[in-house]
């Protein structure tokens, strides 16, 4: 591929998963920054915080007491954005369209330890989180009123996360959310045309080219996608074509835990801070139809740009036109790949 011709100048790249373009401006990385500097919150020093609503044994906002859990702990969000009993009513007069949206919101505590993060949890502990996600996926997918199981983690105050206790969320809904609709349509189109899943072909090419690969194990690969928007955005891909977390074998779940550990440790090491991000998994629609076109994958979207204090803003042209990045995905991958696989707090 003749990417060299474009590497040093402004160009745009196509995202085959969403059908959207991103502008890349590598010549712009040296521009001075006199704007706002962020403060990235340090991890808590407390293993158990009596004021935390997620810590074991503590009382939550709705008065319920958390059990003395020792691994993962899942509960229904006390302030759920989706209600299971919303009516199916649909209004559509050709211009004003609205419909009831029902679903369930769950909160997943990754560990009873208030002071840990995925980056600082052991492989066994992370594997328990993966098992928990798989079990939740299976249980929610079995419900006739659920077609989308969206698992995600919002890390860090800068991302609007309300609590440092290691936790994520699951929003399961009747309808497919926007990103799932875009990715589903593109994967279906590719599968119809080529008879193979889009992301299987994509991973094969990335493994040949190698420049965007960060780390890999027997079952999963972490890379900076060719079309990454966020400076240090990554994609987590399974080697075997598998469409949901509950389809992973035991060995693959361990492989996913290893991959999550490897990338989150590198993220923390990048600027020697507890690295903020939004991450989550896209898995097939849970509608009882076969989905050979769908490949399970994880997205990490970190907001930091060039240091622990400078954040990328999606404003101006990006709000009105489309996304733009400065540092190339290849340069970002090289940066992340070169980092130590050992957490900076442990190598001191």
Tell me the HSE value of 333 on the side-chain side, using a 13 A CA sphere.
Answer: 22
Please say which residue, 117 or 324, places its beta carbon nearer to ligand H2U: 117
Please say which residue, 107 or 118, places its beta carbon nearer to ligand H2U: 107
Q: Determine which one of 167, 291, 297, 299 is catalytic.
A: 167
Q: Is 318 exposed, middle or buried (0-12, 13-18, 19+ CB in 10 A)?
A: middle
Phi and psi for 31 in degrees, rounded to 5?
-65, 145
Binding segment toward ligand H2U, per CB under 6 A, in 8-16, 136-144, 154-162, 284-292? 154-162
Taking CB under 6 A as the criterion, the residue among 52, 55, 107, 256 binding ligand H2U is 107
Check binding of 71 to ligand H2U (CB under 6 A).
no
- Concerning whether 299 is annotated as a catalytic residue, the answer is no
Please report how close the Cβ of residue 275 comes to ligand H2U at its closest, in angstroms.
Answer: 16
Taking CB under 6 A as the criterion, the residue among 161, 237, 304, 333 binding ligand H2U is 161
| Site size for ligand H2U (CB under 6 A) | 12
CA dist 313 and 35 (Å) reads 11
Q: Which residue is closest to Zn ion by CB?
A: 52
Please say which residue, 103 or 164, places its beta carbon nearer to Zn ion: 164
Q: Is 53 exposed, middle or buried (0-12, 13-18, 19+ CB in 10 A)?
A: middle
Binds 115: which of ligand H2U, Zn ion, none (CB < 5-8 Å by kind): none
Long-range residue pairs from 307-316, CB within 8 A, at least 24 positions apart, any chain? 307/271, 308/38, 308/40, 308/271, 308/272, 308/273, 309/37, 309/38, 309/39, 309/40, 310/33, 310/35, 310/37, 310/38, 311/36, 311/38, 311/158, 312/230, 312/231
Binds 259: which of ligand H2U, Zn ion, none (CB < 5-8 Å by kind): none
Taking CB under 6 A as the criterion, the residue among 45, 61, 91, 250 binding ligand H2U is 61
CA dist 138 and 172 (Å) reads 11
CA-based nearest residue to 165, from 258, 262, 58, 31: 58
Check binding of 78 to ligand H2U (CB under 6 A).
yes
Please say which residue, 112 or 184, places its beta carbon nearer to ligand H2U: 112
Give the strand pairing for 324-325 and 20-24: parallel
Check binding of 50 to ligand H2U (CB under 6 A).
no
Binds 55: which of ligand H2U, Zn ion, none (CB < 5-8 Å by kind): Zn ion
Active site residues: 167
What residues line the site for ligand H2U (CB under 6 A)? 53, 60-61, 77-79, 107, 154, 161-163, 169
């Amino acid at each position: 591929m003749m990417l060299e011709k474009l590497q040093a100048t402004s160009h745009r790249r196509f995202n085959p998963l969403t059908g959207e373009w991103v502008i890349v401006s590598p010549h712009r990385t040296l521009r001075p920054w006199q704007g706002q500097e962020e403060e990235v919150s340090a991890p808590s020093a407390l293993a158990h915080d009596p004021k935390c609503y997620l810590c074991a044994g503590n009382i939550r906002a709705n008065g319920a007491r958390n059990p003395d859990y020792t691994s993962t702990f899942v509960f229904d969000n006390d302030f759920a954005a989706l209600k299971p009993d919303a009516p199916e009513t649909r209004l559509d007069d050709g211009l004003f369209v609205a419909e009831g949206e029902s679903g369930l919101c769950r909160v997943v505590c990754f560990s009873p330890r208030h002071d840990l993060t995925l980056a600082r949890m052991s492989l066994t502990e992370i594997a328990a989180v993966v098992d928990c996600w798989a079990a939740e996926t299976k249980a929610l997918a079995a419900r006739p009123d659920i077609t989308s199981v969206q698992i995600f983690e919002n890390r860090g105050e800068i991302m609007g996360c309300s609590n440092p206790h290691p936790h994520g969320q699951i929003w399961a809904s009747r309808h497919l959310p926007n990103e799932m609709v875009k990715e589903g349509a593109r994967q279906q189109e590719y599968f119809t045309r080529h008879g193979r899943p889009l992301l299987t072909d994509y991973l094969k090419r990335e493994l040949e080219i190698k420049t965007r690969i960060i780390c890999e194990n027997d079952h999963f690969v972490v890379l900076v996608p060719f079309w990454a928007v966020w400076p240090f955005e990554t994609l987590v891909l399974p080697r075997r074509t598998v469409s949901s977390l509950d389809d992973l074998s035991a060995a693959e779940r361990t492989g996913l835990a290893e991959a999550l550990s490897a990338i989150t440790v590198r993220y923390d090491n990048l600027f020697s801070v507890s690295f903020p991000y939004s991450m989550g998994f896209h898995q097939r629609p849970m509608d009882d139809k076969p989905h050979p076109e769908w490949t399970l994958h994880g997205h990490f979207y970190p907001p930091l740009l060039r240091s622990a204090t400078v954040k990328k803003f999606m404003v101006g042209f990006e709000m009105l036109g489309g996304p733009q990045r400065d540092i190339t995905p290849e340069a970002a991958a090289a940066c992340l790949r070169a980092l130590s696989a050992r957490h900076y707090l442990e190598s001191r």
